Amino acid sequence: MVAHTGSARSARAARRLNARPLNQPRPALVEAHADGTPRRINRRQVAVLREEWRVVDRWWTEEPVARRYFDVVLETGENAVVYHDGAWFTQRA
């Protein structure tokens, strides 16, 4: 499933409904290894890289999606999912 893209159109729709989109991706500060896997997320060290998956979708629309997702455990013991789509975002898993 393609998670919420947070597009301008959906933001407008949300405003109309006076609602807040669920699971909106948030920009993240990520330092990555040379192979593109995250090393630090929002200044916290990645302890374990649990899984990587990829999403390429909606290429036929104005809002194509091409993302590398990473499911990680941070040094704090916290789980996090980040993806890279030109920029880094975090999104609840």
Partner 1 sequence: MVHAAGLTGRRPGYVELHAHSAYSFLDGASLPEELAARAAELGYDAFALTDHDGVSGSLEFAHAANHFGVRPITGAEVTVETGHGPAHVTLLCESQRGYANLCRVLTHVHAGTRPPGRESREPLPAATTLETLERHAEGLVCLSGCARHGLAVVDANAAARLARAFAGAFYVELQRPYARGDARRNATLAELAATLRVPTVATGDVHAHHPRRLRLQDALVAIRCRTSLDGCERERRGNHESVLLDPATTAERLPPDAVARTREVADRCAFDLTQELGYRYPDFSDGADPADARLRRLCEQRFAERYRPSNAAARARLDEELALIGRLGLAGFFLLHWEVLELARECALEVRGPGSPRHALPPGRGRGSSVGSVVCYLTGLSHVDPVEAGLSLGRFINDEMAAVPDVDLDFPRDIREKLIVRVTERYGREHAALVASFATYRSRGAIRDVGKALGLPAAELERLARVTDGWDATRVAEELERVPGRHDGPRWAAFRELTREIAGLPRHISQHPGGMVVSSRPLVDLVPVQPAAMAGRQICQWDKDSCGDAGFLKIDLLGLGMLSAVEDCVDRIARERGETIDLSRVPLDDPAVYAEIQAADTVGVFQIESRAQMQSLLRTRPENLDDLTVQVALVRPGPIQGKAVHPYIEHRQRRREDPAFEPPVEHESLREALRDTLGVVVFQDQVLDVAMASAGFSIGEAEGLRRAMSRKRSEEAIEAYRPRFVEGCRANAIDEQTANAIYDKLVGFAGFGFPKSHAAAFALLAYQSAWLRRTYPAEFLCALLNAQPMGFYPPASLVRDAQRRGVEVLPPHVNRSEAACSLEEGAVRIGLGFVQSVGEADAEAVAGGQPYTDLGDLARRAATRSGVLEALVSAGACDEWGPRRQLLWRLGVTARGRPAGDGNRQLALPLEPTAEVPELPEQTEWERMLADYRHTSVSVGVHPLELLRPHLAASVLTTVELAGAPHGARVELAGLAVARQRPATANGVVFMLLEDEHGQANLIVAPPVYERHRGLVRGEPLLLAAGRLERRDRNVNLVVDRLESLGPLARRAASEAEVTRALPKAHHFGHR
Q: Which residues make up the interface to partner 1 (CB under 8 A)?
A: 1-2, 50-57, 59-62, 64, 69, 71
Strands (E), 37-78: 38-41, 44-57, 65-74
Q: Which is nearer to partner 1, 45 or 61 (CB)?
A: 61
- Is 31 or 53 the residue whose CB approaches partner 1 more closely? 53
Shortest Cβ 53–partner 1 spacing (Å): 4
Q: Residue 17, SS3? A: coil
Cβ 60 to partner 1 shortest distance, Å? 5
- The distance of closest approach from Cβ of residue 24 to partner 1 in the complex, given in angstroms and rounded to an integer, is 19
Residue 9, classed as helix, strand or coil, is helix
- Distance of closest approach, residue 61 Cβ to partner 1, in angstroms: 6
The answer to whether the beta carbons of residues 46 and 34 sit under 8 Å apart is no
Residues with Cβ within 8 Å of residue 46, at least 6 apart in sequence:
38, 39, 40, 72, 73, 74, 75
Q: Which is nearer to partner 1, 17 or 59 (CB)?
A: 59
